[in-house]
Amino acid sequence: MKTKSDWKWKIVVFLFVISFFYCVIGVFTEYFTEPEQTVKHKRTVAKETETGNRAEARVFIQMVVKGRLKLPSTSDFAWLDSRVEPLGDNRYAMKSYVDSQNSFGSTVRTYFDCIAIKESGKWRIERLKIN
């Protein structure tokens, strides 16, 4: 004859086995998915850094080009027709144009081609061609 305590004991064992398997599956799932999440995080950080460096390169190159104009306060840089391309090793290339006034007051379009490098947290120009 089965008593109530036998059923309680079976329920406790059943719950223990279910809890044990749940814990084992949870540990293995976390163990095997953590490296993938870490890789995704590193890729995200790398993309954010690359995007930030592109923006920094754009601003730096525009400042350098602006300094070479007759009237830098009238400069208007292209946005749609300009692109900063990573070349690797923290080198970035930008080909674009700027509209600005010359010393006679007429607007002139000046094309430029530039390569900037970021070394030790500081930017420098490797090559600058202004037409």
Q: Render pLDDT for 12-29 as a digit per residue (tens, 0 to 9).
A: 888 888 888 777 777 666
Q: Is residue 99 within 8 Å of 107, Cβ to Cβ?
A: yes
Q: What is the pLDDT of residue 34?
A: 52
Tallying the residues shown for the chain, one arrives at: 131
Where do the structural domains in the chain lie, given as residue ranges? 4-130
Residues 6 or more apart in contact with residue 47 via CB below 8 angstroms: none
pLDDT score at 7: 76
pLDDT attached to residue 48: 52
Mean pLDDT, 10 residues at a time, over the chain (131 residues)? 70 83 70 57 57 89 94 92 89 96 94 94 94 88
List the end-to-end C-alpha distance of the chain, in Å, as a whole number: 101
Mean predicted lDDT score pLDDT of the chain: 83
Q: What are phi and psi of 70, to 5 degrees?
A: -65, -45
> Which pLDDT score, from 0 to 100, does residue 126 have?
96
